[in-house]
Amino acid sequence: MIPEIGHYALILALCVAVVQGVLPIYGAAVRNSSLMAVAKPAARGQFLLVLTAFCCLGYAFAVKDFSVLYVAATSNSQLPLHYRLAAIWGAHEGSLLLWMFILSIWMVAVSFFSTHLPEAMRARILGVMGLVSVGFLLFMLTVSNPFERLIPAALDGRDLNPLLQDPGMVIHPPMLYMGYVGFSVAFSFAIAALLGGTLDAAWARWSRPWTTVAWCFMTVGVAMGSGWAYYELGWGGWWFWDPVENASFMPWLAGTALMHSLAVTDKRGGFKAWSVLLAIMAFSLSLLGTFLVRSGVLTSVHAFATDPKRGLFILVFLAIVIGGSLVLYAWRAPRVGLGGGFALISREGMLLANNVLLVAALGSVLLGTLYPLFLDALDLGKISVGPPYFDTVFLPLMTPAIFLMGIGPLAQWKQASLPALAIRLRWAFGVSLVTAVVVPWLMGQWTPLVTLGLLMAFWILATIVVDLRERLLQAEGGGSIGGRVALLPRAYWGMVVAHAGVALFIVGVTMVKGFEAEQDVRMNVGETATLGGYTFRFDGTQQVNGPNYVAARGTIHVSQDGKEVTVMYPEKRRYFVQNQTMTEAAIATGLLRDLYVSLGEPLEGGAWSVRLYHKPFIDWIWGGCLVMAAGGILAISDRRYRLAWRRKEATVPVEAQLARPTVT
Amino acid sequence: MRWLWVLLLLIPSFATAYEASPLAANPQAEARLKALAVELRCLVCQNQTLADSNAPLAEDLRREVREMIAKDLTDKEIIDFLVSRYGDFVLYRPPWKLTTTLLWVGPFLLLGVGAIGLVFALRRRQKKMTDVTLSEAEHNRVTQLLSEGARRP
């Protein structure tokens, strides 16, 4: 009964979505206020309906209703409750429901935080979001229904893939989807502006905070995915250039470019058409990512052919969204004004150059991800595109981008002078170069790549220091340092923090790549191994029973200079239902290094093969990402956005709002 | 009491006396294997390098590579052998061929096209952009508006 309610709620949601997608947009075109007013209640109603469906599926998982096909396929009676609930997004159908649920959350958010927008704009935005949800709901209801019954019911479920039975699974997909789907807001703003022909600086100002919020979620989501792979997969890597990872990385790159381009549109009125294009790109890549990961096309092109209905729907949907918005773009964008003029050497010029680099990087990831699929589909042979390819291609594209990242914030808008910039930055460059050469040498192993990496990181930090110093000296009126710091806008601090996060990230990547050490040893009980100055003593394993698995848990005492540092408990688990063995690595986290121990295979006499890693600075990789996201949050807490939010609290009659369409 | 002291003294020496032995008989060969294996694909896995995979087939393949290293084959000979047996699929760094030209050239082509497009777009933009000169009256109006704006809190 409950699953049918969920199914029914989805059908109703589809009806509401159709209304929401058609009436407000039409109303905006004919300036009919009452048609436009449909958008808000429709968005909220749709949210309630999708929420109902989501809860129904959650309930089916909670009560172990194995007469629902999806529940039987992705959970099991022994699976603990929190993983049963996380199993909602454990496979294709449920992930789409999660996607849809999050889309409806964003819609409600837009309906609440858009009262300062002109009504036509808001109606169009919610209308476009409604159309997107029509696509997703249709997809679910026709070929990918999570509420499909299994009659007769299964006695027990096939269980969630043990790899996914991890706290990371509970939080990572919702986080990532908040980012993916968040770009639908930026997309809808762009399409609404194209439809209305109101592509101006105000449009950029409105869509900036939404884009930044989505980008923050995306950053945290991608970082969490990487961290999850690091501790769950058990071989110590943190990024594999796996197609699934690439699928989440591409929208991130597009979103990053979009944020920077919107900054120019907002401040200087330029790059309007380009910003719109990037918004379309970011969302299209989010869609592509969702479908790439969930359609099975990555495992094999032929998996696609086994279920042609789904594949066809996906292709048509992608074609409509991407093709439709590009046609609209081609039709409307040429009428967009140019905005303020600027020279090639200017902050605008550098941001644009950085955008080109980011998009080229994005194109390479796309190429590397899809190329094997195309070759295979065209029967031109099977190839693998992996880390060596991406590393080779990415480094030359990202190095100039990072270099520009240091200069850009110091360059003036409109027109900057290269010689003047060079003089302002010569110390920053000198200091970062010397440090980058000396530090690896002090650490005992000098390689050009480590120096290059550190140079980029120190360059970012040094230019931030130069920039901050100049601005604080110039800040008027604030006598004390504290007062001057407070005078700089939060949006500026957000940029500083986010850029510093990139530097931390680069430090982490460089140090891990340059200085990590590993050892594969056969350890008898009581034997020791030394790595990176730490001594690991293996004290045997014992059997541990989990809720749905049995594990051999090793005990490893770690000491440094005779003093015990920590005790680590790596596990080798066997999950009953799928009879799958999993390696649960033990990680001792630290600011300057991680110790990482994973159990290999049992050998004779209680001995085990054990893999030990010493990974310097690896947590800086994720720390850097969190700092980037913190920068984004700081930026949207800027005064002018708070003012905009506050303004909406004073209830303004609709007519009055229509009368002043460009209020910001 | 004395025996306890003896025991206490013994324990740490007992613990440090035995160094765990490396899994590999020949650490140098193992390092070479590792360097090769990170560029090779585990053929039966979703997306794992030969170095990372625990699949039995990966284990076999690693043993074979180890044997080839023991026979003193060069890296190129080993890779050629693997490609002849499993095809290009085994290589994570796709070889330069007619069919992969676009893959390798693409990123830099994109960058080049982007850079040229950027310069052209900016040139064209500059041409379109004519400096708007303000008339005296307009200028006065702007100054007036600006000062009004400044006076407002």
Q: Sign (positive/negative) of CA torsion B51, B57, B62, B63?
A: positive
Cβ within 8 Å of residue A22, ≥6 positions away: A127, A130
Average pLDDT over residues A192-213: 88
B57–A contact, CB cutoff 8 A:
no
Burial pattern A55-69, b for ≥16 Cβ within 10 A else e, equals bbbbebbeebbbebb
From CA A104, how far away is CA A181, in angstroms rounded?
Answer: 10
Q: Sorting pLDDT into bands at 50, 70 and 90, what band is A547?
A: confident
Report pLDDT for A654.
Answer: 42
Scanning A209-238 for CB atoms below 8 A from B yields 233, 235, 237
Average pLDDT over residues A64-84: 91
Beta pairing class for B21-22 and A571-575: unpaired
- Structural contact between residues A48 and A9, judged by C-beta atoms closer than 8 angstroms: no
Beta pairing class for A534-545 and A563-568: unpaired
Report pLDDT for B119.
Answer: 86
Q: Is A474 a residue whose pLDDT tops 90? A: no
User: Nearest chain B Cα to A370, which residue?
Assistant: B103
Judged by CB atoms closer than 8 Å, whether chains meet at A522 and B47 is answered as no
Report pLDDT for A252.
Answer: 96
User: Nearest chain A Cα to B114, which residue?
Assistant: A356
Q: Give first-to-last CA distance, chain A, whole Å.
A: 49
Average pLDDT over residues A86-96: 89
Of A144-148, A632-636, B48-52, minimum mean pLDDT range: B48-52
Distances (CA, A) of A24 to A20, A119, A195, A413, A660: 6, 10, 12, 39, 20
Token couple for A274: 């380009």
* Position with higher pLDDT, A659 vs A451: A451
Report pLDDT for A454.
Answer: 93
Of A470-479, A575-584, B8-17, where does the model show the most confidence? Answer: A575-584
Of A327-336, A390-399, A556-565, B140-149, minimum mean pLDDT range: B140-149
B25–A contact, CB cutoff 8 A:
no
Judged by CB atoms closer than 8 Å, whether chains meet at A382 and B87 is answered as yes
Q: Sorting pLDDT into bands at 50, 70 and 90, what band is A579?
A: confident
Residue A469 included in any domain:
no
> Within this chain, do residues A5 and A130 fall inside the same structural domain, yes or no?
yes
From CA A91, how far away is CA A295, in angstroms rounded?
Answer: 10
Token couple for A219: 């950053």
> Within this chain, do residues A84 and A212 fall inside the same structural domain, yes or no?
no
Query: Percentage of chain A surpassing pLDDT 90?
Result: 51
What is the ipTM, given to two decimal places? Answer: 0.81
Distances (CA, A) of A38 to A32, A434, A652, B28: 11, 63, 18, 72
> Within this chain, do residues A110 and A148 fall inside the same structural domain, yes or no?
yes
From CA A212, how far away is CA A178, in angstroms rounded?
Answer: 12
From CA A107, how far away is CA A132, in angstroms rounded?
Answer: 11
Of A79-83, A119-123, A190-194, B60-64, minimum mean pLDDT range: B60-64
Report pLDDT for A479.
Answer: 66
Judged by CB atoms closer than 8 Å, whether chains meet at A389 and B92 is answered as yes
Could you read off the pLDDT of A213-254 as tens digits, one per residue?
A: 999 999 999 999 899 888 887 677 888 888 888 889 999 999
Judged by CB atoms closer than 8 Å, whether chains meet at B21 and A522 is answered as yes
* Position with higher pLDDT, B29 vs A389: A389
Q: Is A649 a residue whose pLDDT tops 50? A: no
Give residue limits of the domains in chain B.
23-90, 101-151
Judged by CB atoms closer than 8 Å, whether chains meet at A523 and B20 is answered as yes
Of A31-40, A44-53, A156-165, A630-639, where does the model show the most confidence? Answer: A44-53
Q: State the amino acid at position A193 in one-letter form.
A: A
> Within this chain, do residues A156 and A258 fall inside the same structural domain, yes or no?
no
B129–A contact, CB cutoff 8 A:
yes
Q: Give first-to-last CA distance, chain B, whole Å.
A: 86
Report pLDDT for A303.
Answer: 55
B27 CB neighbour count, 10 Å cutoff: 12
* Position with higher pLDDT, A477 vs A380: A380
Which residues on chain B are in Cβ contact (under 8 Å) with A534? none
Of A556-560, A657-661, B26-30, where does the model show the most confidence? Answer: A556-560
> Within this chain, do residues A146 and A247 fall inside the same structural domain, yes or no?
no
Of residues A263, A317, A328, A309, the one with CA closest to residue A286: A317
> Within this chain, do residues A126 and A230 fall inside the same structural domain, yes or no?
no
> Within this chain, do residues A197 and A64 fall inside the same structural domain, yes or no?
no
Which residues on chain B are in Cβ contact (under 8 Å) with A380? 99
Report pLDDT for A71.
Answer: 93
Q: State the amino acid at position A54 in one-letter form.
A: F
From CA A146, how far away is CA A212, in angstroms rounded?
Answer: 32
Q: Sorting pLDDT into bands at 50, 70 and 90, what band is B75?
A: confident
Residues composing chain B: 153
User: Nearest chain B Cα to A389, which residue?
Assistant: B93
Report pLDDT for B132.
Answer: 55
Q: Provide the residue range defining the domain that includes A18.
A: 1-165
Phi, psi of A220 (to 5 degrees): -65, -40
Average pLDDT over residues A642-663: 46
Average pLDDT over residues A23-50: 94
Report pLDDT for B3.
Answer: 53
Please state the separation of Cα B106 from the chain's center in Å. 18
For residue A152, whether the previous peptide bond is cis, meaning omega lies within 30 degrees of 0, is yes
Q: Sorting pLDDT into bands at 50, 70 and 90, what band is A72?
A: very high
Judged by CB atoms closer than 8 Å, whether chains meet at B49 and A352 is answered as no
> Within this chain, do residues A91 and A186 fall inside the same structural domain, yes or no?
no
Residue A423 included in any domain:
no
Average pLDDT over residues B44-51: 78
Q: Report helix, strand or coil for A149.
A: strand
Report pLDDT for A301.
Answer: 55
Report pLDDT for A651.
Answer: 44
From CA A20, how far away is CA A621, in angstroms rounded?
Answer: 42
- Residue in the structure block whose two tokens are 């303020």: A340
Cα pseudo-dihedral A255, A260, A262, A263, rounded to 10: 150
Q: Report helix, strand or coil for A269.
A: coil
Q: Sorting pLDDT into bands at 50, 70 and 90, what band is A211?
A: very high
Compute the mean pLDDT over every residue in chain A, rounded to the nearest whole number.
Answer: 87
Token couple for A126: 């919610």
Please state the separation of Cα A23 from the chain's center in Å. 33
Q: Sorting pLDDT into bands at 50, 70 and 90, what band is A357?
A: very high
Report pLDDT for B13.
Answer: 42
Residue A255 included in any domain:
yes
| Residue A640, min C-alpha distance to chain B (Å) | 15
Q: Sorting pLDDT into bands at 50, 70 and 90, what band is A100?
A: very high
User: Nearest chain A Cα to B99, which residue?
Assistant: A380
B2 CB neighbour count, 10 Å cutoff: 6
**CATH superfamily entry for domain B23-90:** Cytochrome C biogenesis protein (1.10.8.640)
> Within this chain, do residues A202 and A288 fall inside the same structural domain, yes or no?
yes
Could you read off the pLDDT of B80-126 as tens digits, one per residue?
A: 998 998 888 888 888 888 888 899 999 999 999 999 988 888 888 77
DSSP B88: G
Q: Sorting pLDDT into bands at 50, 70 and 90, what band is A647?
A: low
Report pLDDT for A632.
Answer: 94
Q: Most A CBs within 10 Å: which of B38, B47, B109, as the mutation test of the A interface?
A: B47
From CA A89, how far away is CA A160, in angstroms rounded?
Answer: 10
Last residue of a domain, one of A115, A139, A165: A165
Report pLDDT for A663.
Answer: 34
Average pLDDT over residues A82-107: 92
Q: State the amino acid at position A535 in one-letter form.
A: T
From CA A578, how far away is CA A16, in angstroms rounded?
Answer: 41
Q: Sorting pLDDT into bands at 50, 70 and 90, what band is B14?
A: very low
- Structural contact between residues A146 and A96, judged by C-beta atoms closer than 8 angstroms: yes
> Within this chain, do residues A187 and A327 fall inside the same structural domain, yes or no?
yes
> Within this chain, do residues A98 and A115 fall inside the same structural domain, yes or no?
yes
Cβ within 8 Å of residue A584, ≥6 positions away: A232, A234, A551, A570, A571, A572, A573, A598
Q: Sorting pLDDT into bands at 50, 70 and 90, what band is A496?
A: very high
Report pLDDT for A596.
Answer: 92
From CA A315, how far away is CA A292, in angstroms rounded?
Answer: 11
| Share in percent of chain B as helix, strand, coil (round to 5) | 65, 5, 30
Phi, psi of A421 (to 5 degrees): -60, -40
Residue A644 included in any domain:
no
pTM, rounded to two decimals: 0.89
From CA A578, how far away is CA A572, in angstroms rounded?
Answer: 15
* Position with higher pLDDT, A11 vs B134: A11
How many domains, chain A? 3
Q: Sorting pLDDT into bands at 50, 70 and 90, what band is A652?
A: very low
B98–A contact, CB cutoff 8 A:
no
DSSP string of A577-618, one letter each residue: TTTEEEEE-EEE--SSEEEEEEEEEE-GGG-EEEEEEEEETT
Q: Which of B22, B51, B92 sits opposite A384 (nearest CB)?
A: B92
Distances (CA, A) of A402 to A260, A354, A432, A494: 14, 9, 13, 17
Report pLDDT for B33.
Answer: 85
B109–A contact, CB cutoff 8 A:
no
Q: Is A614 a residue whose pLDDT tops 90? A: yes
Residue A486 included in any domain:
no
Burial pattern A298-323, b for ≥16 Cβ within 10 A else e, equals beebeebeeeeebbebbeebeeebbe
> Within this chain, do residues A157 and A256 fall inside the same structural domain, yes or no?
no
